[in-house]
Amino acid sequence: MTWDRKGTEPNMARTDGERADRVDAGLRLMAVHAHPDDESSKGAATMARYVAEGHEVMVVTCTGGEAGSVLNPAMDRPEVHENMTMLRREEMARAAKILGVQHRWLGFIDSGLPEGDPPPPLPEDCFANVPLEEPVAKLVRVMREFRPHVVTTYDENGGYPHPDHIRCHEVSMAAYDAVADPEQYPDAGEPWQPLKLYYGHGFSRAKFEAFHEALTSRGLSSPYEEWLKNWDPDRPDVMERVTTRVPCADYFEVRDDALRAHATQIDPNSRWFAVPLDVQREVWPTEEYELVRSLVDTTLPEDDLFAGVRERVTT
């Protein structure tokens, strides 16, 4: 029975893809992201855990990240700026290898994050401006080839309001709804029915507070004090929407290695690495998701993205 967190009516229809899923022996997870490095900063330890357990994981990156700024001072050199497109592809390949995931590019141009008041228009041919059906058709094809049981993407706010993150959400939702329908994108392969869809969210105040308190109680410097001081008190914490906390502390080191592979984007001396791994494992040993679609029975809260899927595939 279809379960939709936003209230979709139950749908008992079964597709050929869904029938095939009941006898398929493997479990497959697809994570859809906007830019290279997003996969390493959002859900990387979860993916590394599932890879270690023998499951197949694929990351789909919608853009090449060409418009990304050089955020690591050690990499801020003219030749880096001149070769950003090539470097970001190389960084993504290294991160994928570290995580053990398969990887696909959708091939769209990074929209950039416009600054100014009013902000300047986005480039005409960028990901956020191309007709929606173009990236949806490409993602549907990749989904039908990989046949994921579970898909993760961003929430309706994109995790944060970057135009590519918001478009990534729109593309992911449209593709998820189309992939099992043989009448939609008939040239994109045989229909397939994923069984669950999750959102990842942006930063959590509760998480930062926990880290801040853990650091200060140990007499360590906290990089979060000013951030928490300036946090909008009316801004709801994303933890209010979380349904699923995946234990993955054993893979935080793999996550950090994948992050460092994105050397143009990640400063190894930044707050990404401010909390010692032993403190992270003690204080916050999970990564969090919101279940928004499910065709399998599950009980909330969950601790496994494949909850209900495992039983469906093996029975």
**Can you name the residues that pair with 104 across neighbouring β-strands?**
60
243, burial (CB in 10 Å: exposed 0-12, middle 13-18, buried 19+): middle
38 annotated as belonging to a binding site for a ligand: yes
d(CA 250, CA 160): 27
Q: For residue 150, what are its two tokens?
A: 């579970």
The residues near 170 (Cβ < 8 Å, ≥ 6 apart) are: 132
Within 10 A of 9 (CB to CB), how many other CB atoms are there? 7
Paired sense of beta strands 196-200 and 286-294, if any? antiparallel
Residues 6+ apart with CB under 8 A from 77: none
149 is known to lie in a ligand binding site: no
* Residue 201 marked as a ligand binder: no
Q: Annotated binding residues, as ranges?
A: 35, 38, 165
Q: Annotated binding residues for Zn(2+), as ranges?
A: 35, 38, 165
